[in-house]
Amino acid sequence: MNIHKEKISVVSPVYRGEKMVAELVRRNIEALTTITDDYEIILVNDASPDNSWQAIEAECKKTPKVKGLNLSRNFGQHYAITAGLSYASGDWIVVMDCDLQDRPEEIPNLYKKAEEGWDIVYARRVHKQFGFWKKMSSKMHHWIVNWLSGAKTDSSIANFGIYKKCVIAEFNRMPERARALHYLIEYLGFKHTAIDVEHAESERGGSSYSLRKLLKLSSDIIISNSNKPLRMAVGLGFVLSIASFVLALYNLIARWIGIIQVEGYTTTVFSIWFVGGLLLMMMGVLGLYIGKIFDQVKGRQLYVVMDKMNFE
């Protein structure tokens, strides 16, 4: 007999998950029923190119506790998570990927830790089941983002965790277009901790994050959370200005002692390189920030839901 009466929502973005949906639902139900009878499993199809939505529909028809959202196009993992969180109604919300690397069997452990008084309990992957290049790119991503944005994140912690309803309510109020769940949650504060969990092999056979997507995510996080790149551009401009002055002084002395044979050529070329490169770099950094402002002020939807199942 279940003694817990709180409702638990599980939100999973689905991409290329056709073969994993049924197993994901089955294992989630087995884990959740050890905690409470009041739960929901929200699967968000991020316009997956396979038959993921048909698989979600099949699971929704089996039980009303499984709910489906079908996005009109591929918005990206964090936008799909945002869509699911906006529909979640649980007292506690679990976020996990669909590829079963986040093991549903860890949900009772996360909930047990949350009962100690924590608002957020992250799942810390002690032994990440990734290939060498995936591990290296992940560590590099976190190092660069932490250095440039001032954030303090752990590369062993991703989205998998359990979040109190009040945390998700505040998250849903944040209108940023640059969505990165973990970084936005960190901004909110709240009492949080982490527990060690077992990280499984991906049932999908590889990460859905390409290098291009990872670089874009890194750029979004950095620009949305810090103006450090702008300050660095100013600092670099100062350094290059000093270097240009030193170079000009050298050329003046070299001209006096007869080292320079072609008058004006060296000074002109180096001046163009320094000033041109400096201006292009600063304009590029500034352009990135202006581009993000442009995206934000348009006020477009973060996602568009095309179909829903088992929602009232």
Helix, strand counts (H, E) of the chain:
10, 8
Report d(CA 98, CA 103) in Å as an integer.
Answer: 10
Q: Please choose, from the candidates 206, 217, 26, the residue with its C-alpha nearest in 3D space to the C-alpha of residue 99.
A: 206
Residue 89 has pLDDT above 80, yes or no: yes
153 and 269 housed in the same domain: no
> Predicted confidence band at 238 (pLDDT cuts at 50, 70, 90)?
confident
201 and 234 housed in the same domain: no
> Predicted confidence band at 106 (pLDDT cuts at 50, 70, 90)?
very high
145 and 46 housed in the same domain: yes
4 versus 117: which is more confidently predicted?
117
Would you say 66 and 22 are in contact if contact means Cβ atoms under 8 Å apart?
Answer: no
User: Does 1 reside within a domain?
Assistant: no
User: Does 197 reside within a domain?
Assistant: yes
DSSP secondary structure of 178-231: S--HHHHHHHH---EEEEEE-BPPPTTSS-S--HHHHHHHHHHHHHHH--HHHH
pLDDT digits (tens, 9 = 90+) for 187-237: 888 999 988 888 666 555 555 555 566 666 666 666 666 666 766 776 777
Mean pLDDT of the chain: 80
Find the domain containing 84 and state its range. Answer: 8-208+301-309
User: Does 267 reside within a domain?
Assistant: yes
Task: Determine the pLDDT at residue 145.
Answer: 64
180 and 240 housed in the same domain: no
Q: What does the pLDDT average to over 107-121?
A: 93
Lowest-confidence pick of 39-43, 123-127, 144-148, 205-209:
205-209
172 and 260 housed in the same domain: no
pLDDT digits (tens, 9 = 90+) for 66-86: 999 999 999 888 899 999 999
157 and 36 housed in the same domain: yes
Percent share of the chain, pLDDT over 90: 38
User: Does 217 reside within a domain?
Assistant: no
Task: Determine the pLDDT at residue 108.
Answer: 94
User: Does 193 reside within a domain?
Assistant: yes
User: Does 47 reside within a domain?
Assistant: yes
Rg (CA), the chain: 25
Task: Determine the pLDDT at residue 1.
Answer: 45
128 versus 51: which is more confidently predicted?
51
Residue 52 has pLDDT above 90, yes or no: yes
CATH number at residue 160: 3.90.550.10
171 and 248 housed in the same domain: no
Q: How many domains does the chain fold into?
A: 2
User: Does 216 reside within a domain?
Assistant: no
Amino acid at 299: G
User: Does 125 reside within a domain?
Assistant: yes
Q: What does the pLDDT average to over 164-182?
A: 87
> How would you classify residue 47: left for phi > 0, otherwise alpha for psi between -120 and 50, otherwise beta?
left
122 phi/psi in degrees, rounded to 5: -85, 155
Residue 273 has pLDDT above 80, yes or no: no
Report d(CA 307, CA 93) in Å as an integer.
Answer: 22
153 and 245 housed in the same domain: no
Report d(CA 10, CA 18) in Å as an integer.
Answer: 18
280 and 292 housed in the same domain: yes
Map residue 155 onto helix, strand or coil. Answer: coil
195 and 264 housed in the same domain: no
- Helix H segments across 33-131? 52-62, 77-87, 107-114
134 and 251 housed in the same domain: no
283 and 197 housed in the same domain: no
